[in-house]
Amino acid sequence: MIRSFKYRLYVTKEQDIVLDKQLEEARALYNLLLEASIKAYKEDNKSLLGYKLNELSLRLRKEKGLSISAQSSQEIAGRITKAFKNFFRRLNEGKRGNSLGYPRFKANRRYESITFPQYPHCFKLLDEDTLSIWNVGISRIKYLKDINGKIKTLTLKKEPTGNWYAVIICDGITGKRKAPTEDKAIGIDVGLTSLITTSEGTVVNNPHFLKKAETILIRRDKQLSKKMKRSKNRYKAILKLAKAYRKTTRRRETFLHNLTSKLISEYKIIALEKLNVVGLAKNHRLSKQILDVRWSEFVRQLIYKAEEAGSIILQVDPRNTSKKCSKCGWKDEDQTLADRMFKCENCGLELDRDINAARNILKTGLNTLGRREINACGDETSVLEKTKARLVVEARKNEKRPVGRFRSY
């Protein structure tokens, strides 16, 4: 299992100056490579990507006398290659307009990270709290004892607050998270008023972190707008605004981590709605609330934590989950969003709309697992083990090998 670990990096003033210089050089190199790639396609009708772009990045690094490593310069070329591949993929999918995402030039403060691809040549972990970086020096770092796999790459990222963070990607991570002993299953319905409603009737209210922080955010934004451009006071105002946003983000992340960890520790099977968050966020009346609640982050955390614990996450189609009776299957076609209670005219079931939806989600998820199927041979093998084996076989069938002889970025 591949996983990334993010740690705070404590650099000295001299190291901060060196890293800022390398970050600016990486941004300039990115723009030069992008310009060369676009020019080659327009003038010669040839693609300058992959191996050729790697060679150009090494040549430009030597000509310009850049202080970034050769591996980092090749990784920058890989970013452009990946950006163009994603652009052409979206073009083939029939997308139009801004959703195509044509690669753009990076302005000042729009390039935030440098990647060191090789361990231990470009960077090395010396101790539990010490990291050695090529051409930067030895820096203090936090919580390295969590890493237990094969270290692959290091990415140094500078946040708007001015703090540096080290993102270490490892392969072969062994999950420390323990799965519940009982084969308990639960269905979860997500929402805006209540963040989640479970099939057991548990309701977790939406904390509304952004709404609570709006007063201070608006105040900091007004203070920034009054400062003169390129002044020291404006830079201080930018830091204050960035710190206010960071505080809100950390509160939200902590809340979601605690919630997802609790769910993974209690349930072996979790059924969720498969939502199109990007499409839902196009509703201008609810877009801010939808993006604040972070449904995608909630699902992402559940998926990787379930993989560590050996649990199963099922994402089902949410269509008609709140209109259908979870007991008899009768559908209420006249139900609207204003109706918060579900009343079945067939069997007389009456309960909260979200609880009914969560039970339907669980029912659909279990049906996809085949949990209701009876084994005629009398095999007592766990349903979970059978499902894991089936999912592994399907993943191997759908696995695609990398095309070409170049490194994939």
Nearest in space to 108 (alpha carbons), one of 182, 164, 41, 31: 31
- Give the pLDDT of residue 319: 84
Q: Are residues 167 and 196 in the same domain?
A: no
Please say which residue of 138, 171, 204 terminates a domain.
171
What confidence score (pLDDT) does residue 102 get? 87
Is 195 within the bounds of a domain?
yes
What is the predicted pLDDT for the residue at 81? 93
pLDDT for res 32: 94
In this prediction, residue 18 carries a pLDDT of: 92
Which of 152, 171, 190 delimits the end of a domain? 171
Amino acid 176: pLDDT: 67
pLDDT-derived band at 238, boundaries 50, 70, 90 = very high
Residue 401 lies in a domain: no
Interval 126-171: pLDDT, tens: 877 888 888 888 888 876 666 777 888 999 999 988 899 999 888 8
- The candidate with the shortest Cα–Cα distance to 322, out of 336, 308, 311, is 336
Residue 350 burial by Cβ neighbours in a 10 Å radius (0-12, 13-18, 19+): exposed
- Is residue 384 domain-resident? yes
Q: Write the CB contacts of 333 (distance below 8 Å, at least 6 apart in sequence).
A: 323
Cis check for the bond before 402: say yes or no (omega within 30 of 0): no
What backbone torsions phi and psi does residue 165 show, to the nearest 5 degrees?
-130, 145
Q: Are 265 and 153 contained in the same domain?
A: no
Segments forming the whole domain that contains residue 16: 3-171
Residue 242 banded pLDDT, cuts 50, 70, 90: very high
| Residue of higher predicted confidence among 325 and 225 | 225
Q: Are residues 159 and 205 in the same domain?
A: no
**Is 88:102 a contact under the CB 8 Å cutoff?**
no
400: in domain: no
The chain-wide mean pLDDT, for the chain, equals 83
- Clarify whether residues 100 and 161 are in a common domain: yes
Query: Do 247 and 310 belong to one domain?
Result: yes
pLDDT for 354: 86
Residue with the bigger pLDDT between 368 and 231: it is: 231
Considering the domain architecture, whether residues 142 and 206 belong to the same structural domain is answered as no
User: Scanning the structure block, which residue is given the tokens 């997802």?
Assistant: 260
Residue whose pair of structure tokens reads 């189609």 in the numeric block: 317
User: Hey, which bits of 47-88 come out as E strands?
Assistant: none
pLDDT recorded at residue 75: 92
Based on the fold, state whether residues 203 and 260 are members of the same structural domain: yes
One domain for residues 96 and 153:
yes
- pLDDT above 70: residue 50: yes
Higher pLDDT: 15 or 174? It is: 15
Q: What is the pLDDT of residue 380?
A: 35
In a domain? residue 283: yes
% of the chain exceeding 70 in pLDDT: 88
Are residues 57 and 73 located together in one domain of the fold?
A: yes
Of 120, 147, 171, which closes a domain? Answer: 171
pLDDT tops 70 at residue 403: no
pLDDT at 144: 66
- Which pLDDT score, from 0 to 100, does residue 257 have? 93
Residues 136, 406: Cα–Cα separation, whole Å: 29
Q: How confident is the model at residue 308 (pLDDT cuts 50, 70, 90)?
A: confident
Question: What is d(CA 299, CA 256) in angstroms, rounded to the nearest whole number?
Answer: 10
Give this prediction's pTM.
0.78
Residue 409 lies in a domain: no
Positive or negative torsion for Cα 48, 53, 59, 61: positive
Residue 126 shares a structural domain with residue 250: no
For residues 85 and 59, state if they share a domain.
yes
Nearest to 38 by CA among 28, 46, 29: 46
Tens of pLDDT along 310-346? Answer: 888 888 888 888 888 888 878 777 777 777 788 887 8
Determine, yes or no, domain membership for 279: yes
- Tokens matching residue 227: 């400062």
**Number of folded domains in the chain?**
2
Per the domain annotation, does 405 fall within a domain? no
Structure confidence at residue 382 (pLDDT): 47
> 208-222, 270-284, 324-338: which has the highest mean pLDDT?
208-222
Asked if residue 336 and residue 218 are part of one domain, the reply reads: yes
